[in-house]
Structure 1
Amino acid sequence: MLTKENIDLFRSECKAIQIKKNDFFVKENEVCNHIGIVHSGTLYGYFEDADSNFIVSELYYEQSIITSYRSFITGVPSPAFLKAYSDTMIYAMDKNHYDELMKQQKWAYIFKKISDLLFINKCFKETALIKLKAKERYLQLIENRKQIEQKFPQHLIASYLKIRPETLSRIKSLDLYQDRK
């Protein structure tokens, strides 16, 4: 977890980027030249598979670290889209500035913390998809991200959980029914 001091220091080296609803932070096949922290608003990352199916890979809101990290680090085109679900403001740092700051020990420490967070989130999601049933994934998501259901519509949450919206509705209605007993 980044401390408030680390977040404030990171923001002090960034520029504010405004992204309107339905605009992109990065598009598929573009190199992602920024890493940022969401200040306000919501975004989601998604892929389109070979059959043009829409698959949500990540949901971002206040305090989320946002980037297409593989593209940002390597300079290869992003495999995903990062799109604003609502009007959004991000404190973002470009790759050149990141590389300059990385030469300083205190920044190397902060950037390692950021990369660790991104990696850990990826590992938790991958493990959940492999080991947990749909209901368990949903319960884990709402436990770890308490505001997620107020920030995103059910179809995006369902895609993120790799289930159909109808399945998510059924899971939620079963929970409501069981809570009444």
Structure 2
Amino acid sequence: MRELFVYKKIKRKHLFLEQGEICKYCGFVIKGSLKQYRVDDLGKENVINLFLEDWWVADRDSLIASKPTIYNIETCEDTEILMISKDDISKMQNVPALNELTKQLDMNHGIAMQNRVNYAISLPAIDRYNNLLKAYPAFLQRFPQHLIASYLGVTKETLSRIRKLK
């Protein structure tokens, strides 16, 4: 197992993955935090995902399909990651316990993403904030307000008003 992973330290505000690259590694966050975002035509950064310790980080679409990513994944703090290549992930799946763990993690990720999309299109901003507070309270401690606002799809001012109501 140790031979499959590569340890890497990434300084704050450095890219783990850059738009246009093919994602070749999946990373397991040991320490630190990251954001996955896309920059729109107006230059606005839209946060798609946030990652903390014990989370896997990658652009799954780019990794699996070997196509250029449309996202950037950038560190928000000095970060330590264990990286594993697509080929080595396949090798890991030959171990029954790890294969089962991978399936469970993939299911949990799918459910979380489905819920996130549902909340984004069907709930008012205050309910999205409350769901975030309930599901991922550490996000509010670790990420700056402008990233939380982008993640929720609201302006910084709207997020500030919601937080005052709390």
Structure 1 length-normalised TM = 0.85
Q: Who is 1:4 aligned against? A: none
Matching residue within 95, 108, 113 for 2:86: 95
The aligned amino acid for 1:154 is: Q
Distance 1:128 1:12, change over 3 A: farther
Aligned residues: 166
Q: Give the match's secondary structure for 2:137.
A: coil
- The alignment-based identity, stated in percent, is 29
Structure 1 portions without partners, runs of 5+: 1-8, 176-181
Matching of residues 59-138 of structure 1 within 5 Å = 59-138=50-129
SS of 1:147's partner is helix
Structure 1: how far apart are the matches of 2:142 and 2:33? 7
Counterpart of 2:29 (choices 13, 38, 46) is 38
Unaligned runs of 5+ residues in structure 2 are none
Residue 12 of structure 1 deviates from its aligned partner by 7.8
For the aligned residue pairs, the C-alpha RMSD in angstroms reads 1.7
Which residue of the other structure, out of 138, 145, 152, is the alignment partner of 2:136? 145
- Paired letter, 1:37: F
- The CA distance in 2 between the partners of 1:75 and 1:111, in whole Å, is 20
- Report what 2:146 is aligned to: 155
Equivalent residue, structure 1, for 2:43: 52
Task: Give the aligned partner of residue 172 of structure 1.
Answer: 163
Once residues 31 and 99 of structure 1 are traced to their aligned partners in structure 2, the CA distance between those partners, rounded to angstroms, is 18
Query: Partners of 1:12 and 1:171 in 2: how far apart?
Result: 47
Match of 2:141, as an amino acid?
Answer: Q
